[in-house]
Amino acid sequence: MEKVLVANRGEIALRILDACREQGLSAVAVFSEPERGAMHVREATETVCIGPADPRRSYLSVPALIAACELTGADGLHPGYGFLSESADLAEICAAHDITFVGPAPEVLSRAGDKAAAKRMVREAGIPVLPGSEAIASPEELDRAAADLGFPLLLKAASGGGGRGIRVVRHREELSPSFTRAQVEALAAFGDGRVFLERFVPSPRHVEVQVLADTLGNVVHWGTRDCTVQRRHQKLVEEAPAPGLPLGLREELSRTAVEATRALGYAGVGTVEFLIEGDHHYFIEINPRIQVEHPVSEVLVGRNLVSEQLRIAQGEKLGYRQSQVEFWGHAIECRINAEDPSREFLPSSGRLCLRQLPGGVGVRVDSALYHGMPVLPYYDPLLAKVIAFGETREEARIRLYAALRRFRVSGVSTNRKLLIEVVSHPDFAAGRVGTDFLERMS
């Protein structure tokens, strides 16, 4: 692999461009028509317009991406996160065109992308999973599965991620209409309307483990991350390591994540996600891509996770054992989104006025922002990730509070003030959080 097409936009596109430079690889940035002035386009030495603003005709268009590879001679493609990052079809078409897909093999993406099937495979390997059903094909199956699980329960899309396609059903009369809406939502978001049921846990912790596996069978983990602070199943605050976990549970999660990775025949960088209910942990899914929250793991380990992806995709050996992975300190990340919390988190668009970005010891900002940038309504509202780190969690938390206060933009609404409230809340400071933390805080 000598030239990589960066099949994404925003801050993750910048990260991939930087990692390609570190690895001595050429890179090509793609962009939609209204993003000609985007930061990732400015930073790239070679660029290709792949279509109009509508992501279905640009960033989600497999023909457009393959054509861009052929036009530029790119023999690799990095999908980033979101968009087509979990597409087995894209990975398969890349293989057919002798393009290295920076991610798992198509068959692995198919296994990991079907959440119900992935749960079945890891359950057969002896890994605990939340009680649930297979994909539901009829009203009769829906009624039987719901009767077996009992209420409340979760309706979940079989494909996709990012918190989409998930609905809580608390009473039987809500089941049928919620099922129909979940099917429509899943089909629109992922092109796959299959839905399954899962037991609902009211206030769990959401903890994940970063894993890396090469094509030679070597697997390591980079420890835990806590992603419990969420809004409508979408993460807002992430930290590593997950605070307050007993050592035994932390070790068990890491061991289980490696076992799940092996059970799925996985090769690449991925995240194994768990729900924690008291002393019990349950596998919920494996995300076969780079995660938005990967910087907190990079801080802990002192390595570049995107560079690791590129190395693995080229067939290189990991080059280190688990015993050689050393962990340092604590890191916390907040996602600053262009949305208005006072208006049900309505996405906000407009022209960005960049007033101040934080910096200093123990602060990192991952973004593609620039003064005068148009914040477009077509894409995810993520503006920036503010990461703070220190020797202790409290040191990282205090630095994050100060960094958020210094993050100042205008022209669009953001969730910055809400995030300041979260990181300064006594329960967050004490690590007393569940997935319903925002509801309890308000």
pLDDT at 161: 64
Q: In angstroms, what CA-CA distances link 310 with 199, 315, 374?
A: 37, 9, 31
At 301-335, the pLDDT tens digits run 999 999 999 999 999 999 999 999 999 999 999 99
Instruction: State the average pLDDT for the chain.
Output: 93
Contact call for residues 353 and 429 (beta carbons, < 8 A): no
In a domain, 125, yes or no: no
210, two tokens? 């970063």
In a domain, 109, yes or no: no
pLDDT at 134: 84
State how far the Cα of 133 lies from the Cα of 366, in Å rounded to an integer.
39
Mean pLDDT of 281-293: 93
In a domain, 126, yes or no: no
Q: Among the options 289, 311, 393, 397, which is catalytic?
A: 289
Residue 381 burial (CB count, 10 A)? 21
pLDDT of 196 > 80? The answer is yes
In a domain, 118, yes or no: no
Is the alpha carbon torsion for 237, 422, 157, 348 positive or negative? negative
State how far the Cα of 338 lies from the Cα of 89, in Å rounded to an integer.
31
State how far the Cα of 272 lies from the Cα of 129, in Å rounded to an integer.
12
State how far the Cα of 284 lies from the Cα of 279, in Å rounded to an integer.
16
**Residues 13 and 87 grouped into a single domain:** yes
313, two tokens? 């995709």
The DSSP output letter for 80 is -
Catalytic-residue membership of 289: yes
Confidence of residue 18 (pLDDT cuts 50, 70, 90): very high
In a domain, 119, yes or no: no
pLDDT of 189 > 70? The answer is no
260, two tokens? 């799940």
In a domain, 414, yes or no: yes
Q: In angstroms, what CA-CA distances link 46 with 94, 244, 246, 356?
A: 20, 46, 49, 30
295, two tokens? 């910087």
Question: Maximum Cα–Cα distance for the chain, whole Å?
Answer: 59
State how far the Cα of 331 lies from the Cα of 301, in Å rounded to an integer.
11
Number of domains in the chain: 3
**Residues 253 and 401 grouped into a single domain:** yes
pTM: 0.93
**Residues 26 and 85 grouped into a single domain:** yes
Range of the domain at 188: 131-199
**Residues 296 and 432 grouped into a single domain:** yes
- Tokens 């979990």, residue? 86
